[in-house]
């Protein structure tokens, strides 16, 4: 049993996107938005007396130039990913100063002025731009940003500011920490979420903008206390989401290619059978990694919206907890990813108990995929949530199944749009009936487990009644429950 309030490793989420585990000084990552090349260099400086800032920058200059040349060579010989997809290259410099028998690490802040003075020509070349951070700042960035989405957006933000410094001659930002703080209170944090929210309204999957998103986005101002509070809420939810992703019960489809009859014993296994088993195991590992990446690909706000439902569970009527209920939640990072959260009924003999529903997660996911006619849809994620109450603590267990959806052809997209129009017309004719059904717990009929993904789930009204303070509508203190193994 492990408490979810423990601080996760700030680097753990990034390692799941690493593609090459053999290199030591150049790491490659396939992030949801593109490819990241990470160069790790150490600058060692021996000093007998006081060390000057100019000496530190001079030593860093040599490493930066060497890395830029390495970057250009990789592009020339086709080893770079920049020709094939959107990419960013980051250089992390670990500066160590040795005096006698003592070694101390430093964290130089470069800022726009430094690059404007020393790398004016290189910054003008957008194809081979290199982001440079000290090791301390890089770790602070990963701890603050927490998601591959926010990391990518910050690198875009950093690049734009550097290029602006070249064009205008202004300083723009004096340090990377200052720029990171500006980014976290900028509208760039919520730009993608707002785009997805508007698209969901256009597809008639919701009737109005997300009130919490509107409230958070409207308070994004430099040195805003409300903006900092919004980030604290999202940060708390994001840490919890990362921990849950790494501890969920992945309900992977069985990859074995054997018939249903009994698997041969260890003594009877042939070389070919052993090879098949090894191949199946490798497929399972690849599927597991793919699923975890899909879940970790969510943004800060998207994670907040998902975790929020866990906090709202104790506020639901006891009758709903006994019978079980469903919440539909769309990703606010990717329009093609839809979530269905099934809160299992806590009565063991309930038809919506975990024992009854867990074997049918794949069937439910396919059902939702068939009824969600968003052309961009690429994944349906089913989360089965169970809260177990004991005298001393509350324990939570999570099942997950992810259904991959094939991309629609142009003809399928057209037919999907026509079908949506018919559904909208039908929905408008019996809106009151649909809303009445959506406010009830999950029905006892197993074939009708899933609620209409186009409808508002039972907690929407609860959120609106919670208060009118925007980001304060749902506060996220440390959760008082543990994860079951």
Question: What band does 293 get if pLDDT is binned at 50, 70 and 90?
Answer: very high
Handedness of CA 205, 211, 212, 213 (dihedral sign): positive
Which long-range contacts (C-beta less than 8 Å, at least 24 apart) are formed by 306-309? 306/237, 306/241, 306/339, 306/341, 307/237, 307/240, 307/241, 307/476, 308/237, 308/474, 308/476, 309/341, 309/459
Position 341 scores a pLDDT of: 94
Residue 187 CB partners (closer than 8 Å, separation 6+): 217, 220
Please check the confidence at residue 131 and state whether its pLDDT lies above 70: yes
The pLDDT tens digits for 33-63 are 999 999 999 988 887 777 788 888 888 999 9
Greater confidence (242 vs 219) lies with 242
| Residue labelled with tokens 């900028």 | 186
pLDDT, position 446: 28
pLDDT 10s digits, 315-364: 899 999 999 999 999 999 999 999 999 999 988 788 888 988 988 888 89
The token pair at 174 is 């004096």
435-450 mean pLDDT: 36
pLDDT in the model for residue 433:
54
Residues 108 and 92: beta-carbon distance below 8 Å = no
Contact 87, 37 (CB under 8 A): yes
What is the tens place of the pLDDT at every residue in 265-287? 555 567 776 777 777 677 777 87
- Mean pLDDT, rounded, for 369-386: 89
Are the beta carbons of 205 and 454 closer than 8 angstroms?
yes
Asked whether 111 and 173 are in contact (CB, 8 A), the reply is yes
pLDDT at residue 438 in the model: 47
145-197 pLDDT, tens digit each:
999 999 999 999 999 888 888 888 777 788 899 999 989 988 889 999 999 99
Read off the pLDDT of residues 222-270 as tens digits, 9 standing for 90 and up: 667 888 888 889 999 999 999 888 888 777 776 544 443 445 555 556 7
**Stretch 443-463: mean pLDDT:** 35
Higher pLDDT, 286 or 466: 286
Residue 437 has a pLDDT of 45
Give the residue carrying structure tokens 């049993």.
1
Residue 7's region, left for phi above 0, alpha for psi from -120 to 50, else beta, is beta
The DSSP symbol for 315 reads G
* pLDDT (0 to 100) of residue 306: 95
pLDDT of residue 431: 59
Lookup result for tokens 């004096």? 174
Calculate mean pLDDT across residues 282-298: 86
d(Cα 41, Cα 63) in Å, to the nearest integer? 7
For residue 314, give the nearest of 216, 454, 459 by alpha carbon. Answer: 459
Residues in the chain: 485
Average pLDDT along the chain: 78
Q: Report whether 31 contacts 152 (CB < 8 A).
A: yes
Share of the chain above pLDDT 90, in %: 31
CA distances from 25 to 13, 39, 40, 141, 304 (A): 19, 6, 5, 19, 34
The answer to whether residue 8 scores a pLDDT higher than 70 is: no
Q: What pLDDT is attached to residue 257?
A: 45
């Amino acid at each position: 049993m492990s408490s979810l309030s423990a601080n996760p490793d700030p680097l753990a989420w990034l390692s799941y996107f690493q593609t090459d585990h053999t290199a030591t000084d150049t790491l490659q990552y396939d992030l949801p938005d593109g490819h990241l090349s990470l160069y790790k260099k150490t600058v060692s400086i021996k000093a007998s007396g006081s060390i000057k800032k100019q000496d530190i920058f001079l030593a860093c200059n040599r490493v930066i130039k060497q890395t830029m040349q390495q970057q250009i060579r990789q592009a020339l010989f086709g080893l770079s990913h920049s020709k094939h997809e959107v990419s960013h290259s980051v250089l992390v410099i670990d500066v160590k100063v040795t005096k006698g028998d003592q070694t101390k690490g430093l964290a130089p802040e470069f800022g726009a002025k430094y690059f404007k003075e020393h790398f004016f020509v290189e910054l003008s070349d957008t194809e081979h731009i290199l982001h440079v951070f000290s090791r301390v700042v890089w770790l602070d960035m990963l701890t603050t940003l927490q998601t591959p989405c926010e990391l990518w957006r910050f690198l875009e933000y950093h690049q734009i500011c550097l290029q602006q410094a070249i064009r205008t001659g202004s300083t723009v930002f004096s340090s990377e920490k200052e720029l990171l703080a500006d980014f976290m209170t900028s509208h760039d944090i919520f730009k993608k979420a707002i785009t997805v929210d508007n698209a969901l309204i256009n597809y008639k999957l919701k009737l109005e903008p997300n009130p919490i998103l509107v409230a958070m986005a409207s308070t994004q101002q430099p040195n805003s206390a409300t903006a900092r509070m919004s980030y604290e809420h999202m940060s708390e939810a994001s840490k919890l989401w990362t921990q849950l992703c790494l501890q969920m019960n992945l309900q992977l489809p069985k990859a074995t290619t054997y018939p249903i009859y009994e698997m041969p014993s260890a003594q009877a296994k042939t070389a070919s059978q052993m090879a098949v088993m090894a191949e199946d195991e490798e497929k399972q590992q690849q599927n597991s990694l793919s699923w975890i990446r899909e879940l970790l690909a969510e943004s800060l706000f998207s994670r907040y919206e998902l975790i929020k439902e866990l906090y709202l569970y104790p506020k639901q009527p006891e009758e709903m907890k006994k019978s079980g209920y469903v919440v539909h939640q769309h990703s606010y990072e990717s329009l093609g990813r839809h979530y269905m959260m099934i809160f299992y009924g806590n009565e063991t003999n309930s038809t919506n108990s975990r024992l009854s529903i867990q074997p049918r997660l794949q069937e439910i996911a396919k059902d939702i995929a068939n009824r969600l006619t968003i052309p961009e849809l690429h994944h349906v994620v089913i989360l089965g949530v169970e809260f177990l109450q004991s005298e001393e603590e509350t324990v939570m267990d999570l099942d997950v199944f992810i259904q991959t959806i094939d991309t629609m052809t142009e003809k399928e997209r057209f037919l999907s749009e026509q079908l949506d129009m018919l559904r909208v017309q039908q929905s408008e004719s019996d809106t009151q009936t649909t809303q009445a059904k959506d406010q009830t717990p999950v029905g006892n009929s197993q074939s009708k487990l899933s609620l209409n993904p186009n409808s508002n789930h039972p907690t929407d009204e609860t959120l609106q009644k919670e208060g009118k303070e925007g980001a304060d509508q749902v506060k996220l203190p440390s959760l008082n429950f543990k994860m079951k193994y």
